[in-house]
Amino acid sequence: MALLRWTKRHLVVLAGLLTLGYLLLPNVVVTVFSFNAPKGRFNYEWQTFSTDAWTDPCGVAGLCRSLSLSLQLAAWATLGATVLGTMIAFALVRYRFRARGAVNSLIFLPMAMPEVVMAASLLTLFLNLGAQLGFWTILIAHIMFCLSFVVVAVKARVMSMDPRLEEAARDLYAGPVQTFVRVTLPLAAPGIAAGALLAFALSFDDFIITNFTAGSTVTFPMFVWGSAQRGTPVQINVIGTAMFVVAVLFVLAGMIVGNRRKRQKP
Amino acid sequence: MTKDHGGDVRLSGISKTYGSFTAVHPLDLTVPEGSFFALLGASGCGKTTTLRMIAGLEEPSSGTVSLGEQDVTRLPPHKRPVNTVFQSYALFPHLDIFENVAFGLRRRGIRSVKKQVDEMLELVQLGEQARKKPHQLSGGQQQRVALARALINRPKVLLLDEPLGALDLKLRRQMQWELGRIQTEVGITFVHVTHDQEEAMTMADTVAVMNAGRVEQLGSPLDLYENPRTTFVANFLGTSNLIEAEVDSKSGGDIVLKAGDGKLVLPEARCSAPATAGGRVLVGVRPEKISLTHADDAGDVPVGRNRITGKITATSFTGVSTQYAVDSSVCPEFVVYVQNIDRDPRLVPGADAVLHWSPAHTFGLDAAQDIDAGVETVEEEAAV
């Protein structure tokens, strides 16, 4: 009886903890196995604790080259998709033009289309154009599929922005450029940042579309996939764990800054 | 005030159309330098559009806007020496109060803004709040920031778009007084848009009453109230009793009218409609100008006053006065305000009474108009 009552009272906390565990368990496994010293080529069974992989993360041929390529691709794709997506979002919210409705729906198409279909179509397109598969074809593809996500994120923000704020800026002697830089951009920034983060994450770990459009170029997800056929080096876990830690640090930093701001101005 | 602070605002033939909808019909308006000018009207009458055309936020479909000698019709808003206090204040949420107020100065390249901003914040009593963000202030405080942010630029004209609309009644009365004080102090021309007739009358030197994209009448609050020239103005500013009457004859500057069985006298000078014998005019009188006498004492009513008989249908005591609704043959609901000096206890619902007033307090309007124009709009606004 007492146990039942206790469960009832803490059901929400319990459910929350279980869900959190469910979400974090894979990360825990990745982290733990980054300290493994596997026998043979596969890192699937726990053997003994070792920091070998951490002291030599680039020890596997091609790994760091693929990682650097993926980071570059993600950076450029984020930049391209964020700039274009922000402009599209402003156009869709602020201006009334012919085919606005059509554009509004078409922009979601890449999100709805099965990725593998899109990947195959892109390959067909690139081949027909006679394009050399590699960095540029991957980048074009990444910007394309990140675009819709940026548009959605920025659009939501711009729609909630009061156009009178920009009118107030113009009224207070700010020219078009100053109005944009001093008022519009800071107000839209949270939406743009959310879109950019999403674009970075999507581009960095995309496998299907990249695989079709890469030619002989190897990105980090492709490297992981390729090595999984022949054996999984511990360094993959090291990179994975490092990415996770960096992301957590970013979130923590954001929370600390936010809290301090709140405390400063009660 | 010196000349560099002003110049009249002149609108010549200015209009605004959106597709087939005309928001503002071509209108001419001159706002004298240094005056407190109100544009009064119900929502959708074109008053805010007119204001936005002065600010440059809306491009007129025709006509010109001039400030003093300068034609500013084609100037973008940031190049006009005009500032606006927006209806919802439109304070920049990402900037603190200090930076909000400093915004205009900084955009014009002024470096040392600290002294001016501090002074301006003192003027609106917000010195303590300089480092807070707008959302941390109350509505009244935000309103004062919006005012300070505009005034600090010393514009030639300050435009106020329903600046007090979001405040509660008590605060609104206080800010009305405060705005009046600031206007006198700085001497800048204020153009104030409002739907609140009391606000317009208490604050402005000159009021333009707008209806359906046109200026119905322009004048001092007293003039508009005492001498309305259209039924809209008569009903929108305060309350009017309007009676349809037939012109009987004219004698010595007075028009004699037939309304039902009785006769009413109207000074010719106070009739804005052409009055020819046999024609019809609307006779108006304000509720507070009327005296109410019980029917038993009808003989005591002095000769020479306009009189109407009727039956009291409702009374309501408001403290300062008592309001009576009287049903008469010429007007179904005559409204009378009587000061509570000597209350006649016989004047209760159901009693017969004589309504009488001086002919000098009578005004005449063109009978071709809608007798109820401006009545519903007042109620709609009150409901919002």
Task: Give ipTM to 2 decimals.
Answer: 0.79
Compare A187 and A52 and report the one with higher pLDDT. Answer: A187
pTM: 0.79
Which residues of chain B have a CB within 8 Å of the CB of A164? 86-88, 90
Same domain? A220 vs A242:
no
Claim to verify: residue A263 and residue A203 sit in the same structural domain: no
pLDDT, position B111: 85
A76-90, B4-18, B153-167, B243-257 — most confident range: A76-90
- Write out pLDDT tens, residues A87-99: 999 999 988 888 8
DSSP 8-state secondary structure symbol assigned to residue B129: G
Put simply, the answer to whether B107 touches A186 (Cβ < 8 Å) is no
Residue A242, in any domain of the structure: yes
Question: Residue A240 domain-assigned?
Answer: yes
Task: Using CB atoms, pick whichever of A164, A173, A186 lies closest to residue B107.
Answer: A173
Residues of chain B with CATH 2.40.50.100: 240-383
pLDDT tens-digit profile of B296-339?
988 888 888 998 999 999 999 988 899 999 998 888 889 999 99
Question: What's residue A263's pLDDT?
Answer: 65
The Cβ-side half-sphere exposure at A74, using a 13 Å CA radius, reads 21
Q: Which pLDDT band holds residue A60 (cuts at 50, 70, 90)?
A: confident
Q: Domain check: are A142 and A265 in the same one?
A: no
Q: What are phi and psi of A194, to 5 degrees?
A: -60, -45
What is B3-226's CATH number? Answer: 3.40.50.300
Sheet arrangement for strand B62-67: B21-31, B9-18, B62-67, B70-71
Per-residue pLDDT for A171 more than 80? yes
Rounded to whole angstroms, how far apart are CA atoms B375 and B384? 15
Please indicate, yes or no, whether residues A99 and A220 belong to a single structural domain of this protein.
yes
Neighbours of A219 (CB within 10 A): 29
Q: Are residues A87 and A67 in the same domain?
A: yes
Which segments of B74-217 does DSSP mark as H helices, in order?
A: 97-107, 114-123, 139-151, 169-186, 197-203
pLDDT at B381: 47
Residues A188 and A254 in one domain: no
**CATH number of the domain encompassing residue A100:** 1.10.3720.10
Question: How many Å apart are CA B327 and CA B325, to the nearest integer?
Answer: 7
Taking alpha carbons only, the member of A88, A250, A121, A189 closest to residue B94 is A189
Residues in chain A with CB shorter than 8 Å from the CB of B160 are none
Which residues of chain B make contact with A262, given a CB cutoff of 8 A?
A: none
Residue in chain A closest to B82 (alpha carbons) equals A171
Radius of gyration (C-alpha) of chain A in whole angstroms = 23
CA-based nearest residue to B8, from B28, B25, B22? B28
A174, A175, A187: residue with CB nearest B94 = A187
Q: Do A167 and B83 touch (CB under 8 A)?
A: no
pLDDT bracket for residue B39 (50, 70, 90): very high
Residues of B within 8 A of A185 (CB-CB) are: none
Minimum CA–CA partner of A165 in chain B: B90
Give a yes or no: residue A137 inside a domain. yes
Q: What length does chain B have?
A: 384
* Mutation to test the A interface, candidates B75, B78, B91, B157, most A Cβ within 10 Å: B78
A17 within some domain: no
What is the percent of chain A where pLDDT is above 90?
61
What is the spatial order of strands in the sheet that B241-251 belongs to? Answer: B262-267, B254-259, B241-251, B280-285, B363-366
The answer to whether residue A28 is domain-embedded is no
Coil/strand/helix, residue B311: strand
pLDDT bucket at A264, cuts 50 / 70 / 90: low
Instruction: Tell which CATH classification among 2.40.50.100, 3.40.50.2000, 3.90.550.10, 3.40.50.1820 matches the domain B240-383.
Output: 2.40.50.100
Q: Return the H-helix or E-strand segment holding A243.
A: helix A234-264
pLDDT tens track for B271-282: 888 878 888 899
User: Which residues, other chains included, contact B246 with Cβ-Cβ below 8 Å and sequence gap of 6+?
Assistant: B257, B258, B259, B278, B279, B280
A26 within domain boundaries: no
Say whether pLDDT at A80 is over 80.
Answer: yes
CB within 8 Å: A265 and B136? yes
Indicate the residue type of A24.
L
Q: Bridge partners of B288?
A: none
CB contact under 8 A, B57 and A170: yes
> Cβ A168–B86 below 8 Å, yes or no?
yes
**Which domain does A146 fall in, by range?**
62-232
